[in-house]
Structure 1
Amino acid sequence: MSEYLSKAAAFAQNAAKLSKKVSEGIVENAREFGLEATSSGHYFDTSEEKMRDIKRQLDSRHDREKMDGLKRLIAMISKGRDVSEFFPDVVKNVASQNLEIRKLVYIYLLRYAEQEPDLALLSINTFQRDLADQNQLIRAMALRVMSGIRNHVISPIVLLAIKKCVTDLSAYVRKTAAHAIPKYALVDIITTLLNDKSSFTIGSVIMAFNEVCPDRFDLIHPQYRKLCKMLIDADEWGQIAIIGLLLRYSSQNFGKKKSEAFYSDDENSEKSDDTFDDSFILDPDHELLLHSALPLLQSRNSAVVLAVAKLYYHLAPLEEAYKLGKPLVRLLHSHRENQYVVLANIATMAIQRPSLFEPHLQQFFVRSTDPAFIRNLKLEIMILIATENNITGLLRELQEYVKSPNKEFAAAAIQAIGHCAIGMPEMAESCLNGLMRLLWSKNDAVVAESVVVIKRLLQLRPQDNADMIIQLAKALDQITVPMARASIFWLVGQYSQNLEKVAPDVLRKAVKTFTTEADVTKLQIINLGAKLISLHPTDNTLNLLFQYMLDLARYDLNYDIRDRARFFRGLILIDIKKENVDEKAPSEESPSAGRDRFTIGSIALVLNHSIPGYEPLPDWTTEKPDGSLRDNLDETWGHNRSIKGFGSDTIGNYAPSPTFDKSFSKKRNDNYYDDLNRFYESEEISEDEENTGKIYLYVHFIN
């Protein structure tokens, strides 16, 4: 028994020792990652004691203590805390042999080097040594910090550093050099970097080009075809920059008109239009750009898809532009902010090219969860893409929206019905009948909006509206909304020559309730009386009724009503003349009207207002382009390119993109484009098919 107890005690003692070691290990690992178990707010405690503790850690001789202090500083920076007071203590560690410490020091310096340029100069020698470091991250970060120190004293040194990094073996370092160029406007270095064969670097080079010399298209001529080929392999934001550049380039070198003088010898052709037709023959380089950008419509980045849509909308003929519909609709299954931007661009494109989105009408049907700003844009788009083939289904959908308990939404749906009737006169009768049934709705807002829309529609058919106006007049007892009542009185007065028996009775009933009506209604009642007196100046009853109404208006609280009554009294007493008012039929304008003056995909288009920094597309050229300018002697760039990574200087080699020549569209992988065209031509596609299609398209493109 005693032996058993001794073994149990020994076991318990060993277990306690093991538990203690495990606890110590956990605490040690927590400290190594900059965490402490004593307080969950250790990183963000800004008391003086903690500040002194960080300073002590930065001055420590142990790397683990320094790393802990630096991580706490970086955490404070991420929360917006100003920790520039530690700059001298951090700079002392810039030459540390520990790679992790140097990375943290560089991150800190990137934040505060511009604020403390004099202190940053103390470590300039270290930065220069780091430009020759074996690790590409150290070389790149050293250049970033040097270019971030705004001090004219070291400008020559920074320029030499940039020129050195431009020829670095690492694409990541060359990319960093491209980001440093705009700070010094180095056009000659941009020229050198444009010859870079790495798709990892080219996006940053184009961004620097757009910033420094956006109009130097002479530098782009020999690189044009290479940029088209590299487009598929560039990073997402680089793709956006490249597409924007090539769009501006194309407007100056290909032209947009369908005049065959661009690509033929017929210089006297008089054809001119803003869109392409089926007989338009594209320049091979123009076609190269469109085919190179096509796979990017399947990008997971909505900004890339929108950039390609901008390219196709402005450059592609109609038989190619139809491919924009499905990718843009796919973006609607995203956050509502993204939806709004995409819908605003779709609405702008639908004004000029509604056929692009007609097959996708159902995708714009309003959902119960859609916010108001999404809902209104969807209604606008549905109106723009309405055709004889889909108008019946669209009207059924709008009639369902009218039943919504949301008064604003119901009113917007009624307005949409009116827009459809005005845009398609053959459907006006059907729309009017539906709106007339809404006059007996229990929703005052629906009744009021229906009257206003009916008023606009009846102006389109002045010779055949008496019956409907009579029905409206009968509904006056149930209609209480001032604007609706005012619209009915206006209609009765405007077409009173066709309502000889009804109009005087409407005036009689209106005078009885004149003092209780709203101001906008009173004005229309006075107008109605003046029009009837003009038509029947000898009718004694009408004269007495009109005089009585003017007496009531004479003492009204609203000065506009008093002035209107005084004006008609003087006019009628002096000389009664027949009033013949010819008003133009209403012309409905889309809420997105005016957006088309901005470039697709721009913030100015979304806001429908010009903003600082917005640059419109250059005017399209009217001269025949010289394709020889884009001839590049080095067409083998794609066979030896590699992408540089972060862990080491070379991650791996990518297969070259297919080469292009003047007969691009014929020599291209026909199977790939046949499959791609079938993908766009299909009407429905599931989410699994869409994801599979993205992988399939990308694999076929790079192979």
Structure 2
Amino acid sequence: MSESGYTLIYDPNAASKTSVNEFKTLLEKGKDEAKVEAMKKILISILNGDPMPDLLMHIIRFVMPSKNKELKKLLYHYWEVCPKMDDQGKMRHEMILVCNAIQRDLQHPNEYIRGNTLRYLTKLKEAELLETLVPNVRQCLEHRHAYVRKNAVFALHSIHKVNDHLVPDADELIYKFLYEESDSVCKRNAFVCLGDLNRDASLQYIQDNISIIETLDPLLQLAFIEFIRKDSVQNPVLKSQYTNLVTDIIESSSNVVVYEAANALTVLSNNPQSILLAGSKYVELATKEADNNVKIITLERINDLHKKNPGVLQELSLEILRVLSSQDLDVRKKALDVTLQFVTSRNVEDVVKLLKTELQRTSSANEDKSAEYRQLLINAIHQLAIKFVEVAANVIDLLLESMSDLNTTAAYEVITFVKEVVEKFPDLRKTIITRLISVLPSIKSGKVFRGAFWIIGEYALEESLVQEAWKYIRSSIGEVPIVASEKRAAEGNAPDVEEYSNGSTEHTKKGPVVLPDGTYATESALTAEVKDTSNDEKPPVRKHILDGDFYLAAVLSSTLVKLVLRLHRLKASQSVLNASKAEALLIMVSILRAGESSYVAKKIDEDSADRILSYIKVLNEEDDLELISAGFLDETKDAFTAQIQSAELKKAEEQARDFHENAEQVDGSIVFRQFDKDNAAKSAAVDDVSLASGSALKKEDLSSRLNKILQLTGFSDPIYAEAFVKVHQYDVTLDVLLVNQTTATLRNLSIEFATLGDLKVVDKPATANVGPHGFYKIQTTVKVTSADTGVIFGNIVYDGQHSDESTIVILNDVHVDIMDYIKPATCSESQFRKMWNEFEWENKITIKSQIPTLKEYLDELMKGTNMNCLTPGAVIGEECQFLSANLYSRSSFGEDALANLCIEKQSDGPIIGHVRIRSKGQGLALSLGDRVASISRKNKPASVIKV
């Protein structure tokens, strides 16, 4: 009979072992505390392969009589693992004494000692020892305390499994016990044992309790479900009856039982009614259960159920949205994701109506993370409107109405959504543009203004829409020229204020006001009031321009040019066209003058000034008007259309890839491995055993290890050391080879490692004695907690010729490459911008590279930093001398890394520019910056020219 396998327990220092005689001394003369420590060491030694049979009698004599609770527990662990047979395979005589002690414990007046002893019996596999204990176990079945009875049932079952002759009537005893028992835990244990021993008796017990199955204890109901699930695999004929039974159990009051019954129901039956019942119970659990983890798990179950049974759970979409009442953002996000899978043209209007109500409710709510929740709702409504054209118009109206209540990020999401809808549904353009123009006065953010102006410039295709938009733009800027009107306003207010200030001091000064910096305030209340009022009364776009938002001013100028060109294309009357052109020129010149004046918060930047000047030149051009119109009115729209089509194509490709990975071809051949003589099926199917053992996985080329071997010491050192560094997901394993290069034995040789960075050495290698020119291999593990550049350093220590001497050999440093922990990832543009604004650490690297093209540099950067380019391919031109792109990656530890690349290819010169890296932690930003700098230093390989 093969010996049982046990778990290995780590021994901190295997070199200094305690001898058997020392253990005997500790057990004989030590106190209970010393005996406890000795027993722990003995157990570690036995579990690690040293049986120490000579200690058995000492433990019987000096440990067994003790009444110390911890020592008694360790004693039962010892009985479990100690060698019970002699060299001839016969039971050792000392075990008779052990058996007597166990028998006494089974009759002990303390019920917990009895219960603990019965638990030990479930692990005892020697029939000779168990034979004498059976009568005592039978008596324990009738003990007054439930703790003893529940362990006695398991003990009886275990004894029967070891040898059925020891308890031939075990199933009858348990069956009788089941009917007489009142404790729920005991009944559960008894039914579990009965289900394993006697299937017919278990079925009979279930049959006898069918009428009250809904009111049974949840523990017993769970046992029923587990039995049904196992038995249905062996007896598929009974699946329909089991389905009816589980359908009754699923109406239980216990949430745990409902969840397990729903799981069992999905396994037992593919009937749509059963699937729908299970799905509705999952939804009920997600709604009722307070634990957020349970909500997410049940929602994931619903999602899996929908994938396996498409179309069955569609009517649950509104029920799932009840989970939105939860306060947790992750739960709400999961509920929305799952619901969007179920929406069809039949229920889309109801779902949108409910999401509308939720959005309106959160607009006035002040709960935490309400802004992020609103953004989730907007994204969900966005997806539904794109997918179902019949709800797009209503959705647009709702979102535009609520835009004044949204924060900047959510309002910008609405504008982005409107862009896509206007492009995809030409029939809705006029309605949407009219609605957008009507809500422009409620917009507060410059970013949202920019998006709205772009939409108006591109899609206001009728003269009436152009006139409406122009009217609003003109009113939103206020009186022009801006500088003259601001100067006149300032001069108009100044005399009044000055006159009031120069009047009697009793009106202007009500006592000294001390400012936060310790100085006295000299401004009167009236002056402050005039400033605040004048600031609030300014038109919105004018206010943004005076606050220094000249990017908005440039976009506004572009929109004005587009509207003038649109009027020209629509053959508007010459008087209207000339008036519009003159007004547009006046507004743009006014913005340029205001940007250089003292009335703005900051001066206009060069880029915005150049753009506005170029727009002024465009409006004054008369010759190439058709070419200019095509550039402004057609090409920008075509570029946006191409971007949307590219995104849709990418999404369709991902869905097709997922489908093909999970689908099996109709005409694919069926390969039976058992009948395959020529091993032709090796590529088509992998042996289950090899798959389970891991040998079917991609094997590492052993020669590639040579590239990863690091030399830790020099060849002239007394100890030569080299290490193979293997990186797993969350740890680094060092396989170190030590070679004794001397002619003497190195005693007590140990290697110690320390780390710098977010690394932690998990274990300390054991000490050893290495003979002359001997080899010694050790392995140590280092835990990694973040994607930060880490350094492992250490030394080797061994004893010298005298006992008080020791020699130390310093090891070379091992640098952990962070690229093993960083993987390319994707995120939406809004998520990228949000993280970019939130992350506090930035590392800006100036680039000067000899790589020939911008595209090659981008590819090299993505390869070297494991980052993914988020900028669509259409935006990265081949012929352009400039390149700007956003990159994103995510570490194995959930850390986000963002990068923005801005580079320029000089004519006959290097690539110059910079990369800005942002992350939450400093280490990741600095580490990636070092990689970027090293990539920039790469030169173009020299070409060999034949002379």
TM-score class normalised by the smaller sequence: 0.3 to 0.5
Question: Which structure: greater strand fraction?
Answer: 2
State which structure, 1 or 2, has the greater radius of gyration over its C-alpha atoms. 2
Question: Which structure: greater helix fraction?
Answer: 1
TM-score normalised to the size of structure 2?
0.35
Greater length-normalized contact order (CA 8 Å, ≥ 6 residues apart): 1
